[in-house]
């Protein structure tokens, strides 16, 4: 059983929110409000005007048990059905209205959403665009770099190709030169072969000549041997002749001496003047003041010798012991030759150690050495005392009081050395100075002087260890042009003329 209910629906939209409330209307109808979103719906429900109370209901129920009551109920049911139908139509209308409103809202919402999406898409698009621009810029940079690199590489490639072509040209030139050289080389090889052939022929000829010369040499050797034998025979004959000559000379000397002695006796009786002189000073003082060759003799000597007298230098009266100026005389001589003297008295010569030794044994002599170099300079060395010991003491030299211009120091050392020759080694060297440096001299070991060394001509006179040496004037390697050694009594200038 349904209660009859009248319903009125009013719809309007106000604010958001959803809910419902129930209020009592002044007309005695109850109303319901439903809130859905911005819209609210109000329902007015009609109520029955004479609803009986519970006690009254009991009476009504008694009345309704009759047919009018059923009729009344049917009417009410029909009324309710009508109301229900009206309500249903209204609800349908309401639904339509709501649907339309919803459509608009949805459209608005959709539009709004579309706008939002569009903005977001535009923003994203803008972002994408800016990113794209950045990427494009980067790409442009990269492209520019790539282009630069490509250009560089192209330039390098171009340069490389240029240098390659140059090298190729050079290679071609060198190849040409090599081929030319090869041609020359083959030409030269051919010439060398030809020359070798010629040389072989010449060598063969020379070998033949050599053989002939060998044979000739053998023949000549045998001839020389024969000659040597003949020479030996002749020299034995010669020594016999020399002995005879010596005997003859002795005889002549004795005759001369006897003549001299008789003459001297006569002269002594007539002039009391000597005719034989012991040295050039005596010659000078006898009045012979011209330089030249004179005969000298000593009481201890058996026979006189020839000597050169220098009557001009420093007052004259000098007996010359040694003279060299052109190299004509060989001074690499034996002990005996230096003992007896050698050379040309008027030219280059050595007076003789025996005579010098005896001459200086009983009187004080001054030794003067005069020297000339190849540059036109002259110098001298003088010793105020000079003497030689005898042969038994190897003609040892004694010197004192040096002065002169040929060196501030004497080139003949003190104390004096023994005399050495190529066949008599009396020096202080483990070597043999005479054989080493040539000539006879008072070598030390081998000492700073040797006036009897090898004579070297101008232009060949330097860097010589074996030349004519006077160290403290011209050094060790210099060979002098001219030398003179001469002596005079120390009292020559003081002694009065006889």
Contacts with Ca ion by CB under 5 A lie at 425, 427, 429
Residue 31: partners with Cβ closer than 8 Å, 6 or more residues away: 22, 23, 24, 25, 42, 43, 44, 45
Q: Are 280 and 311 in contact (CB under 8 A)?
A: yes
Q: Are 340 and 366 in contact (CB under 8 A)?
A: no
Cβ-based nearer residue to Ca ion, 417 or 483: 417
Q: Are 313 and 291 in contact (CB under 8 A)?
A: no
Cβ-based nearer residue to Ca ion, 314 or 425: 425
Q: How far is the CB of 427 from Ca ion (least distance, A)?
A: 4
Cβ-based nearer residue to Ca ion, 436 or 482: 436
Phi (first) and psi of residue 322, to 5 degrees: -150, 140
Q: How far is the CB of 430 from Ca ion (least distance, A)?
A: 6
Cβ-based nearer residue to Ca ion, 360 or 450: 450
Q: How far is the CB of 238 from Ca ion (least distance, A)?
A: 34
Cβ-based nearer residue to Ca ion, 443 or 470: 443
Phi (first) and psi of residue 167, to 5 degrees: -60, -40
Q: Tell me how far apart the alpha carbons of residues 410 and 172 are, in angstroms, rounded to a whole number.
A: 78
Q: How far is the CB of 420 from Ca ion (least distance, A)?
A: 7
The DSSP bridge partners found for residue 22 are 32
Q: How far is the CB of 445 from Ca ion (least distance, A)?
A: 8
Q: Give the residue among 419, 432, 413, 363 at the shortest CA–CA distance from 393.
A: 419
Cβ-based nearer residue to Ca ion, 316 or 448: 448
Q: How far is the CB of 429 from Ca ion (least distance, A)?
A: 5
Cβ-based nearer residue to Ca ion, 310 or 427: 427
Cβ-based nearer residue to Ca ion, 407 or 440: 440
Helix, strand, coil percentages in the chain from 3-state DSSP, rounded to 5: 50, 20, 30
Q: Tell me how far apart the alpha carbons of residues 449 and 440 are, in angstroms, rounded to a whole number.
A: 11
Q: How far is CA 52 from CA 48, 60, 115, 357, in A?
A: 10, 8, 63, 208
Q: How far is the CB of 465 from Ca ion (least distance, A)?
A: 16
Q: How far is the CB of 436 from Ca ion (least distance, A)?
A: 9
Q: Tell me how far apart the alpha carbons of residues 20 and 289 are, in angstroms, rounded to a whole number.
A: 187
Q: How far is the CB of 443 from Ca ion (least distance, A)?
A: 8
Q: Tell me how far apart the alpha carbons of residues 431 and 36 are, in angstroms, rounded to a whole number.
A: 152
Cβ-based nearer residue to Ca ion, 40 or 394: 394
446, with CB counted inside 10 A (0-12, 13-18, 19+), is: buried
Torsion of CA 172, 175, 177, 178, to 10 degrees: 170
- SS3 of residue 45 by DSSP: strand
Cβ-based nearer residue to Ca ion, 389 or 394: 394
Q: How far is the CB of 424 from Ca ion (least distance, A)?
A: 10
Q: How far is the CB of 351 from Ca ion (least distance, A)?
A: 25
Cβ-based nearer residue to Ca ion, 335 or 478: 335
54-64 and 67-270 helices, crossing angle to 10°: 120
Q: Are 294 and 309 in contact (CB under 8 A)?
A: yes
Helices (H), 271-352: 280-285, 335-340
């Amino acid at each position: 059983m349904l209660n009859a209910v009248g319903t009125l629906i009013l719809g309007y939209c106000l604010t958001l929110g959803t809910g419902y409330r129930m209020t009592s209307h002044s007309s005695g109808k109850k109303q319901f409000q439903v809130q859905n979103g911005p819209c609210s719906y109000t329902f007015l429900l009609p109520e029955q005007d004479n609803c009986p109370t519970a006690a009254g209901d009991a009476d009504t129920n008694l009345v309704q048990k009759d047919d009018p009551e059923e009729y009344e109920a049917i009417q009410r049911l029909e009324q309710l059905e009508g109301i229900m139908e009206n309500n249903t139509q209204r609800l349908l209308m309401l639904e339509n209205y709501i649907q339309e409103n919803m459509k608009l809202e949805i459209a608005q919402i959709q539009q709004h959403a579309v706008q939002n999406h569009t903005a977001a898409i535009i923003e994203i698009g803008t972002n994408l665009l800016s990113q794209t621009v950045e990427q494009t810029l980067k790409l442009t940079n990269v492209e520019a770099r790539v282009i630069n690199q490509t250009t560089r590489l192209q330039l390098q490639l171009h340069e490389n190709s240029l240098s390659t072509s140059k090298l190729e040209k050079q290679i071609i030139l060198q190849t040409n030169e090599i081929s030319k050289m090869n041609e020359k080389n083959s030409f030269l090889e051919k010439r060398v072969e030809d020359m070798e052939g010629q040389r072989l022929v010449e060598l063969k000829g020379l070998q033949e000549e050599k053989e002939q010369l060998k044979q000739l040499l053998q023949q000549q050797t045998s001839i020389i041997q024969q000659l040597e034998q003949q020479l030996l025979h002749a020299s034995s004959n010669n020594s016999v002749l020399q002995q005879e000559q010596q005997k003859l000379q002795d005889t002549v000397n004795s005759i001369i001496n006897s003549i001299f002695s008789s003459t001297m006796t006569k002269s002594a009786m007539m002039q009391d003047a000597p005719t034989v002189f012991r040295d050039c000073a005596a010659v000078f003082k006898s009045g012979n003041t011209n330089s030249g060759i004179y005969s000298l003799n000593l009481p201890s000597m058996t026979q006189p010798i020839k000597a050169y007298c220098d009557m001009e230098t420093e007052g004259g009266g000098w007996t010359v012991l040694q003279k060299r100026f052109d190299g004509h005389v060989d001074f690499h001589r034996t002990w005996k030759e230096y003992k007896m003297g050698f050379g040309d008295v008027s030219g280059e010569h050595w007076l003789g150690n025996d005579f010098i030794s005896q001459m200086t044994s009983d009187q004080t002599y001054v030794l003067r050495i005069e020297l000339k170099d190849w540059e036109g300079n002259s110098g001298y060395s003088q010793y105020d005392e000079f003497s030689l010991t005898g042969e038994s003491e190897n003609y040892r030299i004694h010197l004192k009081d040096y002065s002169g211009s040929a060196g501030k120091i004497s080139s003949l050392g003190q104390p004096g050395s023994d005399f050495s020759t190529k066949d008599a080694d009396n020096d202080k060297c483990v070597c043999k100075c005479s054989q080493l440096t040539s000539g006879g001299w008072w070598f030390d070991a081998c000492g700073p002087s040797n006036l009897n060394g090898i004579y070297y001509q101008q232009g060949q006179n330097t860097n010589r260890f074996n030349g004519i040496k006077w160290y403290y004037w011209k050094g060790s390697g210099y060979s002098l042009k001219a030398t003179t050694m001469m002596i005079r009594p120390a009292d020559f200038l003081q002694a009065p003329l006889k």
